[in-house]
Amino acid sequence: MKIELAVLFGGRSVEHEVSVISALQAMENLNREKYSVHPVYIAKTGEMYTGSSLCSMSSYLNISEMLQACQQVTFVPKGGNVYLQPVLTAGRRGQSVRIDVAFPITHGTNVEDGALQGYLKTVGVPFVGPDVLASAVGMDKYVMKTMLRDGGFPVLDCVRLIRGETAEDMIRRIEEKMAYPVIVKPVNLGSSVGISKAADRESLEVALETAFTYADVILAEPAIVNLREINCSVVGDAWDADASECEEPFMEDEILSYQDKYMDGGSKGTKQSGSKGMAGLKRKIPADISMEMREKIRTMAVEAFCCLGFTGVSRIDFMLVCVKDTRNIN
Ligand SMILES: Nc1ncnc2c1ncn2[C@@H]1O[C@H](COP(=O)(O)OP(=O)(O)O)[C@@H](O)[C@H]1O
Ligand SMILES: [Mg+2]
């Protein structure tokens, strides 16, 4: 018997589109002999829909038309099972389907930060990926840094800032703790949304404003000059976890931007085929680093994964300070 799998994606998040791309790529690669796949698209309104048109990228060019061909659904627990059940709307009545497991392929607030995981836990569907607390920790850069620091990992110092404080006070607190250049970022977003680098007080003020347009809580940390980024994924759980090969993503500018990540590797990339998600990122696998550094990163990735209580698959990103031009890493 096939496993009835609900793939959840979209959601009330600024990374909604990224999630759609990730989910479509995942669904394309799921073993259909093993899984009966039910796409569940969470619209920006929070409504959930299922339907075959959700699996085609071109449908998203006209979302309201696509949703008219879909069925609005909700999860309903009943007699020890959980069903994906149609929301009754005029003239429509679909079939309920029992769901064995949910697979959230989501990015950002309300969906990746423990909120969706809490919903699934409350209705009683087993789900793929980190539990509620680990999802919440993994989504809050300040909380995650605090846990990692406590676990003995090298993390950058930071200043946590909450909307409402005067710009003057915020700047004073940042300048007391670090020198320019400074990176400012929302604490609870990904995909580089709202992140900027400030070289002086004037640009810091703009960077703070930018980050606050996306979140109520933001942070400032010293910007690493001559940065090399190395990513390593981990699969497993606290008892048995394995690290992937290391990759090095390449950026067009000083910050690995949303464009670098999703728009075919930057503003100069070809866009005729639409975004391929992170598959469009310019990268090198395996990363051009020494064997010793590779093993250090892979070991630390697994340790960080366990420290944060992750399960399933996570990507752990490392920032390396490199000696300019020679690319030597110590
Ligand atoms: N302290 C830093 N120094 C230099 N560059 C940084 C720093 N923090 C972030 N960046 C740049 O910004 C990008 C996005 O930051 P990151 O903290 O990874 O946020 P996100 O969760 O949005 O990916 C990084 O990949 C890197 O290019
Ligand atoms: Mg990142």
Instruction: Note the maximum CA span of the chain.
Output: 68
The verdict on the CB of residue 264 being under 6 Å from ligand 1 is no
Digit-by-digit pLDDT tens for the chain (330 residues) are 999 999 999 999 989 999 999 999 999 999 999 999 999 999 999 999 999 999 999 999 999 999 999 999 999 999 999 999 999 876 666 789 999 999 999 999 999 999 999 999 999 999 999 999 999 999 999 999 999 999 999 999 999 999 999 999 999 999 999 999 999 999 998 788 899 999 999 999 999 999 999 999 999 999 999 899 999 999 999 899 999 999 999 877 778 887 887 776 555 444 444 566 666 678 899 999 999 999 999 999 999 999 999 999 999 999 998 876 444 444
Q: How far apart are the CA of 191 and the centre of ligand 2, in A? A: 6
185 Cβ inside 6 Å of ligand 1: yes
pLDDT at position 273:
47
Contact status, residue 42 vs residue 140, Cβ threshold 8 Å: no
Choose among 210, 51, 191: nearest CA to 109: 191
pLDDT at 268 (0 to 100): 47
Cis before 286? omega within 30 = yes
Distance CA(212)–CA(118), nearest Å, equals 26
Domains in the chain with CATH codes: 3-128 (3.40.50.20), 157-222 (3.30.1490.20), 227-321 (3.30.470.20)
pTM for the complete prediction?
A: 0.88
> How far is the centre of ligand 2, averaged over its atoms, from the C-alpha of 92 (Å)?
43
Can you read off the two tokens belonging to residue 159?
């200043």
What one-character DSSP code corresponds to residue 82?
E
pLDDT for res 265: 54
CA of 41 to the centre of ligand 2 (A): 25
- For position 271, what pLDDT does the model report? 42
What are the Cα distances from residue 43, in Å, to 40, 93, 259? 9, 20, 23
Tell me what pLDDT residue 20 has: 97
Note the pLDDT of residue 191: 80
Among 325, 308, 324, smallest CA distance to 316 is for 308
Q: What residues pair up with 102 in beta bridges, in sequence order?
A: 6, 127
Q: Is the CB of 66 inside a 6 Å radius of any atom of ligand 1?
A: no
pLDDT of residue 276: 65
CB-based burial of residue 102 (10 Å sphere; 0-12 exposed, 13-18 middle, 19+ buried)? buried
**β-bridge partners, 319:** 229
Strand, helix or coil for residue 143: helix
pLDDT of residue 9: 98
- Residue 220 has a CB neighbour count (10 Å cut-off) of 26
Pocket flag, ligand 1, residue 190 (CB < 6 Å): yes
| Angstrom distances, CA of residue 181 to CA of 160, 165, 204 | 17, 22, 9
Does residue 256's CB lie within 6 angstroms of at least one atom of ligand 1? yes
